[in-house]
Amino acid sequence: MQQIYDRINETARIIQSYISEHTPEFAIILGSGLSKLEDEVEVISEISYKNIPNFPKSTVAGHKGKLVYGKIQGRYVLMMAGRVHYYEGYSMQEVTYPIRVFKQLGINRLILSNASGGVNPNFSIGDVMIIRDHINLFPEHPLRGKNLDEFGARFPDMSKPYSHTMIATLEEIAKKQGIKVQKGVYVGLQGPTFETPAEYGMVRILGGDAVGMSTVPEVIVARHQGMEVCALSVITDLGGPDISPNVSHEEVLNAANIAMPNVVKLVKGLIEIYK
Ligand code: HPA
């Protein structure tokens, strides 16, 4: 048990030496094809994951692996350019390890982005969805095992997984800037296959608006330790029992690229005005 705390401390100590100017106010995790947000950072320092002890290393195309520290709209942020996924073979503890380290560094807010398949018939490819809730269908729970009492409770509350004030702020920004946003429920499945038509149909029946292979584990761990969380999902394809979308990773990256300017505007706006 002590071992895990020691490991988190060791990682945090190394990162701390790169971010000593000011504690980041936001941690940001970039999803598939959403790396352009990185260009918005006035960079102070960068650390490749391979130089961070105990950090998982990403293996997917389109996912780089570095932490970027700097400012957006004059506020300090720490950005994960590249995340690791459960489907790559990492354990849930590995996937969510950076979230533990963020907390240890004193960061209390987390902004996530991802790409997902839309199952709500009102959605179009390239829409940005503010995630208002999620359904966890991963086969392993990130909090399974001995509880890390120093971070949070054994049975964490999940009544408000996504910050209502952050969501309201994002909606306000979208309205002011004329950006079309959807709001919905993200269903997390392990992948790496995209869903069959029947599975997209199941996601819809269960109450989902979009389905993807990330984010849910990170959000659970962030909420366990009391971080304030918001997440944006770019709808990169549409699925349903009567739609055979024939999705490829390239199409996902292309659609994410098209929606990118809106994601950038929303995240920049949030960081600028969120108190
Ligand atoms: N399903 C799961 N993950 C995804 C999808 C999808 O349709 N699109 C982008 N990521």
CA–centroid distance, residue 211 to ligand 1 (Å): 6
Distance CA 135, CA 275 (A): 28
Exposure class string for 231-251: b at 16+ Cβ within 10 A, else e: bbbbbbbbbbeeeebebebee
C-alpha dist (Å) from residue 51 to 14, 48, 84, 175, 263 = 9, 5, 16, 41, 29
- Which pLDDT belongs to residue 252? 76
- Which pLDDT belongs to residue 253? 80
Identity of residue 242: D
208 within ligand 1 shell (Cβ under 6 A)? no
To test the pocket of ligand 1, the residue of 252, 257, 258 to mutate (highest count of ligand atoms within 8 Å of its CB) is 252
- Which pLDDT belongs to residue 109? 98
- Which pLDDT belongs to residue 94? 94
Do 152 and 225 touch, CB atoms closer than 8 A?
Answer: yes
pLDDT tens-digit series, residues 234-275: 999 999 988 766 778 887 787 788 888 999 999 999 999 998
- Which pLDDT belongs to residue 256? 80
- Which pLDDT belongs to residue 34? 74
Local confidence pLDDT in tens for the 275 residues of the chain: 789 999 999 999 999 999 999 999 999 998 876 778 889 999 999 999 989 999 987 665 555 689 999 999 999 999 999 889 999 999 999 999 999 999 999 999 999 999 999 999 999 999 999 999 999 999 999 999 999 999 999 999 999 999 999 999 999 999 999 999 999 999 999 999 999 999 999 999 999 999 999 999 999 999 999 999 999 999 999 999 887 667 788 877 877 888 889 999 999 999 999 98
**Ranges of H-type helices in the chain:** 2-16, 92-104, 164-177, 197-206, 216-224, 249-273
Do 134 and 185 touch, CB atoms closer than 8 A?
Answer: yes
Q: Which atom of ligand 1 is nearest to the CA of 117?
A: 7
Distance CA 228, CA 226 (A): 7
Distance CA 172, CA 190 (A): 33
SS3 label, residue 18: coil
- Which pLDDT belongs to residue 245? 64
Closest C-alpha among 78, 86, 72, 100 to residue 30: 78
To test the pocket of ligand 1, the residue of 247, 250, 251, 257 to mutate (highest count of ligand atoms within 8 Å of its CB) is 247
126 within ligand 1 shell (Cβ under 6 A)? no
Measured in degrees and rounded to the nearest 5, phi and psi for residue 40 equal -85, -10
Using omega within 30 degrees of 0 as the cis cutoff, is the peptide bond preceding 192 cis?
yes
SS3 content of the chain, % helix, strand, coil (to 5): 35, 25, 40
To test the pocket of ligand 1, the residue of 85, 215, 237 to mutate (highest count of ligand atoms within 8 Å of its CB) is 237
pLDDT tens-digit series, residues 170-200: 999 999 999 999 999 999 999 999 999 999 9
| Residue whose token pair is 């990492």 | 90
Measured in degrees and rounded to the nearest 5, phi and psi for residue 84 equal -105, 155
Distance CA 116, CA 202 (A): 15
- Which pLDDT belongs to residue 105? 97
